[in-house]
Chain A
């Protein structure tokens, strides 16, 4: 099962997952001083003695990594006193929103960036290409905080075209199409911010990849075969440009998460990002721990999936049978 792919070995992912879980198990026990009193220290929550006792026993009593693992698997992630809800429920409630935002932003920016990059590279040396590259490079230099804040201020506060906060209008009893439109309106600005943040990277990467591919011998063969030009451009050239984009995506995903976090916070979008932010400001350490662990494992899973996808896309790195 020797693999020749570019990323870490599958074992590395398993180890990393183990490390994360163990660290999250260990961390609370490593805090100097009293863990429980550190929690909620800056929040409005005051714990009754009984609750404190319960917490303490939760964290110190049921020692043993195996118990911890068992808890994880059975979704027994603990209870948040700041939000008065089991942590697992909080996370699972926030998850769909994050998936919606990040998923749509990533997918659309990949598609747009890919096609724009392919077309730009095909017109190598033209003003279209040069200005496209210039524009995208500048865009890449702007951090998403910047775009997020500016979009918020201009379109939500000054112009009022889009709502400034939330995933959907609170307490409104919408359903069906109305609800969908409402959600989309709330999604618009955070989505645009992230879209603009991810687009340049995809564009530039695809373009650079295409530029290298256009010189390859097999492109000349494809042209010589008298194939329809679109087919040459996409089936032969662009197909090979997918590979570096996929690899880069895997490597960058962890950093993209930070950006998404901040954007959610700015727009008070009810995803994991805002949840984390609130947890932090309330010093709800179990909740922080839960969100971080969950996200990390999710990221690891996505990376693993990408590695397999890479093998599918590029026969040269497939597992040897």
Chain B
């Protein structure tokens, strides 16, 4: 009953090269388990399905083991393999439109396995097939039609009925919801869960992360034939650990994250392995990544290295060289040299006071590489202060700052310049952020000049490149303009260019679009987001507009009166917010709220700061300041005595 895949390696061999489609993949399907095989096209997902069925073409070389209980499928003689096809393992292929023979009726084709393999009579098989078709919700008369006479959704149901007709132990579905409307997708979900309940095992091959999350127990993330991560399916959007999984989740138009599509930087490659005879006669294999039009656009000279390295937002030089094995930790698997998404910036127990007023009670903040973190709050909530401390502009009273595993305070003391080059800062008011004496060129080149080791040529190149990034003119005429000659939108772009010119990995933006015209806001915002993806930046985005946070944030933190009252994945906070203040922000002017001034009054350190406006307050709240506690869903934290979820 168990399907065990061990070290499966599939290579497609042609005259010129060998295409490595699957590289030592391990997978285990047990009865009643649903595994989602997730990845983009070219990741090898379909190859896996076909390998299990024994349907790979002649030019595929297969190594490793695929075993059903103790039966090794890869070495099974053809007639035996043929016998267990469909009766023990069945598959629903991609692109269902052409999956049925156009000259036979649908019912006959659904009944065919029963007749041919189990010796059913035509009548009995027909009845069973009819039942199977009707169970998927099709009309009784549809079976007597021909394949070209039914719609795409109906065809998919027919194929499903056919795949399940012999009640196989294992069902492989290859992109079952591609180009299907919502109603049909629900049906697919039901079928999968139904099979699961019956004790069948399902392998869902898909790039539809929604489907994976809703139906699967486990998600296996595949990239260019290698397993990158294995995680519980529900955590696909909420807590991915591999940078690729995060990137996938961000690119996916899931209905409830509200985020705009991100995309993944770089192009998809195919990985081929070339034979190479060296001088000493050895044969070596070199992995090459071939670009989308099959040209040898990008060559990897070394055979090792992470496959995702060119598109990763947190790649280190070692990632390119070392052979990276997969690590297993209680139910999770991860293939990443850095142990998953690295934390770029960690602020722990940061507190700050100005002239007796506490701006920040101890606050924690963690920024993961490649993500956008939105810091949301009213004015005076402390968000800007926290951001500035993170930017090394302000010093905290207590608490620690770690940037890329290195203590910032020490770093600042030892070599501030090198840290400065790694962090870019964009302020709210561009007009104030630049000197009116400086020309455009001088503004943008300033950070480089301060760094000190760039030649004139390099500076010019970088400035021009930065201007191109923000879609501004590179004409000499423009470079010599002065701020008063430019509008706000252009100025803010220049500030952004300046922030990025040293090639930082962290961009901190404090309300970068608030003081711009609405029409310009959207454009600049979009530009920032594109740059973030393209350059693999980590972003700390400060804003008072939770709607904006909804559109761009991966994770979010809500601040009130110097405290982080709620933090976690943006999707979760927006859907199941735990703190009443968050609810208020989301709903605009929520009910159960009393109008009242922001309680950042001196001495008001006792009791919950939201108490005067909270509609759910109880006696405890008045006197006792709540501590941060973790909610039931992992990464989601809240400071409230009685969280709302």
Q: How large is the interface on B (under 10, 10 to 19, 20 to 34, 35 or more residues)?
A: 20 to 34
Instruction: Please tell me if A218 contacts chain B, counting CB pairs below 8 Å.
Output: yes
Instruction: Please tell me if B95 contacts chain A, counting CB pairs below 8 Å.
Output: yes
**In B70-101, which residues have CB < 8 Å from any A CB?**
82-87, 90-91, 93, 95, 97-101
Nearest A residue (CB) for B148: A316
Residues of A within 8 A of B90 (CB): 224-225
Residues of B within 8 A of A239 (CB): 101, 103
**Bound-complex Cα distance A216 to B101 (A):** 9
Please tell me which one of the listed residues B53, B55, B86, B102 contacts residue A315 in the complex, with CB atoms under 8 A apart.
Answer: B102
Please tell me which one of the listed residues B86, B97, B146 contacts residue A225 in the complex, with CB atoms under 8 A apart.
Answer: B86
Instruction: Please tell me if B117 contacts chain A, counting CB pairs below 8 Å.
Output: yes
A239 to chain B: closest CB distance in Å? 6
Please tell me which one of the listed residues B53, B95, B101, B102 contacts residue A222 in the complex, with CB atoms under 8 A apart.
Answer: B101
Nearest B residue (CB) for A315: B146
B103 contacts A221, C-beta separation under 8 Å: no
Instruction: Please tell me if B430 contacts chain A, counting CB pairs below 8 Å.
Output: no
Nearest B residue (CB) for A218: B101
A316 contacts B102, C-beta separation under 8 Å: yes
A220 contacts B93, C-beta separation under 8 Å: yes
Nearest B residue (CB) for A313: B103
B98 contacts A216, C-beta separation under 8 Å: yes
Instruction: Please tell me if B566 contacts chain A, counting CB pairs below 8 Å.
Output: no
**In A275-321, which residues have CB < 8 Å from any B CB?**
313-316
Instruction: Please tell me if A9 contacts chain B, counting CB pairs below 8 Å.
Output: no
**In B253-276, which residues have CB < 8 Å from any A CB?**
none
B103 contacts A240, C-beta separation under 8 Å: yes
A221 contacts B85, C-beta separation under 8 Å: no
B113 contacts A227, C-beta separation under 8 Å: yes
B82 contacts A217, C-beta separation under 8 Å: no
B82 contacts A229, C-beta separation under 8 Å: yes
A2 to chain B: closest CB distance in Å? 16
Q: Mark A166-185, 1 if CB is under 8 A from B, else 0.
A: 00000000000000000000
Taking chain A's interface residues, is the majority helix, strand, or loop, or is none over half, making it mixed?
helix
Residues of A within 8 A of B101 (CB): 218, 221-222, 236, 239-240
Instruction: Please tell me if B364 contacts chain A, counting CB pairs below 8 Å.
Output: no
Instruction: Please tell me if B112 contacts chain A, counting CB pairs below 8 Å.
Output: yes
Known: A229-B82, A315-B102. A224 touches B116 (CB 8 A): no
Instruction: Please tell me if A226 contacts chain B, counting CB pairs below 8 Å.
Output: yes
Residues of B within 8 A of A236 (CB): 101
**Bound-complex Cα distance A218 to B100 (A):** 5
Residues of A within 8 A of B103 (CB): 239-240, 313-315
**Bound-complex Cα distance A225 to B489 (A):** 62
A29 to chain B: closest CB distance in Å? 50
Q: Mark B163-204, 1 if CB is under 8 A from A, else 0.
A: 000000000000000000000000000000000000000000
B99 contacts A218, C-beta separation under 8 Å: yes
A314 contacts B93, C-beta separation under 8 Å: no
Please tell me which one of the listed residues B85, B102, B146 contacts residue A224 in the complex, with CB atoms under 8 A apart.
Answer: B85
B148 contacts A223, C-beta separation under 8 Å: no
Instruction: Please tell me if A64 contacts chain B, counting CB pairs below 8 Å.
Output: no
A226 contacts B99, C-beta separation under 8 Å: no
Nearest A residue (CB) for B113: A225
B116 contacts A228, C-beta separation under 8 Å: yes
**Bound-complex Cα distance A90 to B82 (A):** 60
Known: A226-B86, A228-B116. A217 touches B102 (CB 8 A): no
Known: A217-B98, A315-B103. A226 touches B148 (CB 8 A): no
Q: Mark B545-570, 1 if CB is under 8 A from A, else 0.
A: 00000000000000000000000000
**In A209-260, which residues have CB < 8 Å from any B CB?**
216-218, 220-229, 231, 236, 239-240
Residues of B within 8 A of A225 (CB): 85-86, 90, 112-113, 116-117, 162
Residues of B within 8 A of A220 (CB): 55, 93, 99
Known: A224-B90, A224-B93, A226-B87. A240 touches B99 (CB 8 A): no
Q: Mark B27-59, 1 if CB is under 8 A from A, else 0.
A: 000000000000000000000000001010000
Please tell me which one of the listed residues A226, A240, A313, A316 contacts residue B82 in the complex, with CB atoms under 8 A apart.
Answer: A226
**Bound-complex Cα distance A39 to B356 (A):** 131
A221 contacts B93, C-beta separation under 8 Å: yes
A231 contacts B116, C-beta separation under 8 Å: yes
Residues of A within 8 A of B97 (CB): 217
A217 contacts B148, C-beta separation under 8 Å: no
A306 to chain B: closest CB distance in Å? 17
B98 contacts A218, C-beta separation under 8 Å: yes
Residues of A within 8 A of B82 (CB): 226-229
Residues of B within 8 A of A226 (CB): 82-87, 113, 117
Known: A315-B148, A316-B146. A227 touches B117 (CB 8 A): yes
A221 contacts B148, C-beta separation under 8 Å: no
A224 contacts B95, C-beta separation under 8 Å: no
Residues of A within 8 A of B112 (CB): 225, 227
Nearest B residue (CB) for A222: B101
Nearest A residue (CB) for B172: A224
Residues of A within 8 A of B113 (CB): 225-227
Residues of B within 8 A of A227 (CB): 82, 112-113, 116-117
Residues of B within 8 A of A221 (CB): 93, 99-101
B98 contacts A224, C-beta separation under 8 Å: no
B169 to chain A: closest CB distance in Å? 14
**Bound-complex Cα distance A16 to B346 (A):** 88
**Bound-complex Cα distance A226 to B115 (A):** 12
**Bound-complex Cα distance A221 to B116 (A):** 14
**Bound-complex Cα distance A314 to B101 (A):** 11
28 residue pairs from A and B, CB less than 8 Å apart: A216-B98, A217-B93, A218-B101, A220-B93, A220-B99, A221-B93, A221-B99, A223-B85, A224-B53, A224-B90, A225-B85, A225-B86, A225-B90, A225-B113, A226-B83, A226-B84, A226-B85, A226-B113, A227-B82, A228-B82, A228-B116, A229-B82, A236-B101, A239-B103, A240-B101, A315-B146, A315-B148, A316-B102
- Which 9 pairs of residues, A with B, have the shortest CB-CB distance? A226-B85, A217-B98, A315-B146, A226-B86, A218-B101, A225-B86, A221-B99, A226-B82, A225-B113
Q: 10 additional contacts, CB 8 Å, given A225-B85, A315-B103? A: A217-B93, A217-B99, A218-B102, A223-B55, A224-B53, A224-B91, A225-B86, A226-B117, A315-B148, A316-B146
